[in-house]
């Protein structure tokens, strides 16, 4: 098949591409996601506009500086924006603090992860420092904060909390306290109420708080979600995946999600690169990102992104979305959440949508 200036042909079960001038040319592609989940219409529109502009800018970085620089650039911009659940605007935990997770992985096996880190906007850049400057793969909590201080990435917490996240936290926690004390039943909350969704994600939270009153007391004293971001890129040579998040809203302090766990929320090897988002506990249980990349051995990335949900979904609930790219530059996006705003820029052509399930 001839399309634009490329010839597409099937070889070893995969679609390959050759430029008409005879030189094998692999598409250069970047995919960026703004998080899989429930998005209110007004914020979704803002996020899509933001992603369109970001897609164009990140593609330029991809062409000039390669996959790693493009993934870091794209994620940094979303970490800076209060629209997404990463860096500034990251979801507060149960006690109202922002604890971030981030991960970065390259096809040659180099990787860096940070988990449960406070006081940082650019968590993905901290993960890159773990990758490029230390002998370790993952640094968490206070150790990660010390590293952020040394590298000039530390910021006070008020730079991470936004009016929106503070209000959401107050509203949800006061509702939660009423549920815990039996004054309000979960069923009386509207379908789209954030607390109702949280109680679906965490079916044991109310019981946990009833049994562990120390948390309740802290909450009572203190009373007074956008989504995770990620990117995968292929510059014709290197595949890179990166993800950054504030984690799930109202998580218990110290909870680590899928994002900084290699193979769960972030994964890359010589076959493919994948970034996942959604309910971290669902994603970790099935090692979603690695499972998707493994399927690209026999399937195109497009088919693999759907198949992984079909196969693993037979046994497990997977409330998540993924972006996936393979060594031929083929890509796929799929999700089991209501919305998943993503932008793809492939050889300069841009596609932007908030649903990818056809
Ligand atoms: N996967 C993230 C976590 O569970 C949250 C998200 O993607 O929105 O920490």
172: Cβ below 6 Å to ligand 1? Answer: no
Residue 12 has pLDDT above 60, yes or no: no
Coarse DSSP helix, strand, coil percentages of the chain, rounded to the nearest 5 percent: 40, 25, 35
Secondary element (H or E) of residue 8: strand 6-11
Select the highest-mean-pLDDT range: 42-46, 203-207, 290-294. Answer: 290-294
The pLDDT-based confidence of 3 (bands split at 50, 70, 90) is very low
Closest-CA residue, ligand 1 atom 6, reads 278
The pLDDT-based confidence of 148 (bands split at 50, 70, 90) is very high
116: Cβ below 6 Å to ligand 1? Answer: no
| Across 283-298, average pLDDT | 97
The pLDDT-based confidence of 21 (bands split at 50, 70, 90) is very low
CA of 330 to the centre of ligand 1 (A): 25
Task: Of 75-79, 133-137, 198-202, give the lowest mean pLDDT range.
Answer: 198-202
228: Cβ below 6 Å to ligand 1? Answer: yes
How many C-beta atoms lie closer than 10 Å to residue 100's C-beta?
31
* Residue 228 bears catalytic tag: yes
The pLDDT-based confidence of 108 (bands split at 50, 70, 90) is very high
Strand, coil or helix: what is 101?
strand
277: Cβ below 6 Å to ligand 1? Answer: yes
Q: What is the structure's pLDDT at 226?
A: 46
90: Cβ below 6 Å to ligand 1? Answer: no
Single pTM value for the model: 0.86
More confidently predicted of 222 and 33: 33
Task: Please identify, by atom number, the ligand 1 atom nearest to the C-alpha of residue 101.
Answer: 9
More confidently predicted of 187 and 311: 311
Residue 291 has pLDDT above 90, yes or no: yes
CA of 33 to the centre of ligand 1 (A): 12
From 29, 162, 165, 228, active-site residue: 228
Mutate to test the pocket of ligand 1, among 89, 247, 254, 263 (most ligand atoms within 8 A of CB): 247
272: Cβ below 6 Å to ligand 1? Answer: no
Q: What is the structure's pLDDT at 26?
A: 67
Half-sphere exposure of 111 (CA within 13 A, CB side): 25
Mean pLDDT of all residues in the chain? 90
Question: Given the structure tokens 């497009």, which residue do they identify?
Answer: 302
Helix ranges, the chain (H): 41-65, 67-80, 123-133, 141-150, 163-180, 194-201, 205-211, 213-222, 280-286, 288-295, 301-313
Question: Given the structure tokens 């979303």, which residue do they identify?
Answer: 78
Residue 4 has pLDDT above 50, yes or no: no
- Which residues contact residue 200 at a Cβ distance below 8 angstroms, ignoring those fewer than 6 apart? none
């Amino acid at each position: 098949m001839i399309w634009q200036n490329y010839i597409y042909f099937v070889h070893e079960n995969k679609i390959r591409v050759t430029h008409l001038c005879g030189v094998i040319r692999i598409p250069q592609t970047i995919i960026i996601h703004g998080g899989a989940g429930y998005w209110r219409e007004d914020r979704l529109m803002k996020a899509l506009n933001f992603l369109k502009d970001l897609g164009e800018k990140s593609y330029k970085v991809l062409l000039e500086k390669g996959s790693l620089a493009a993934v870091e650039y794209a994620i940094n911009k979303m970490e800076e924006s209060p629209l997404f659940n990463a860096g500034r605007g990251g979801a507060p935990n149960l006690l109202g603090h922002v604890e971030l997770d981030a991960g970065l992985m390259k096809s040659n096996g180099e990787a860096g992860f940070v988990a449960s880190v406070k006081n940082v906007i650019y968590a993905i850049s901290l993960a890159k420092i773990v990758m490029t400057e230390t002998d370790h793969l993952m640094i968490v909590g206070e150790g990660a904060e010390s590293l952020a201080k040394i590298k000039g990435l530390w910021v006070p917490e008020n730079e991470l909390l936004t009016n929106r996240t503070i209000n959401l936290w107050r509203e949800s926690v006061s509702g939660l306290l009423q549920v815990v004390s039996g004054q309000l039943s979960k069923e009386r909350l509207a379908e789209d109420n954030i607390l109702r969704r949280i109680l679906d994600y965490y079916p044991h939270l109310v019981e946990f708080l009833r049994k562990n009153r120390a948390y309740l007391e802290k909450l009572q004293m203190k009373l007074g979600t956008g989504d995770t971001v990620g990117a995968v890129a292929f510059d014709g040579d290197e595949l890179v995946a990166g993800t950054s998040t504030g984690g799930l809203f109202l998580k218990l302090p110290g909870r680590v999600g899928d994002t900084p766990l290699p193979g769960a929320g972030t994964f890359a090897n010589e076959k493919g690169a994948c970034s996942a988002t959604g309910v971290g506990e669902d994603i970790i249980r099935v090692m979603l990102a690695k499972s998707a990349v493994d399927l690209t051995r026999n399937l195109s990335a497009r088919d693999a992104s759907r198949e992984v949900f079909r196969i693993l979904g037979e046994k497990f609930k997977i409330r998540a979305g993924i972006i996936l790219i393979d060594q031929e530059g083929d890509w796929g996006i799929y999700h089991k959440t209501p919305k998943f705003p993503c932008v793809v820029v492939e050889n300069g052509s841009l596609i932007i949508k908030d649903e990818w399930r056809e």
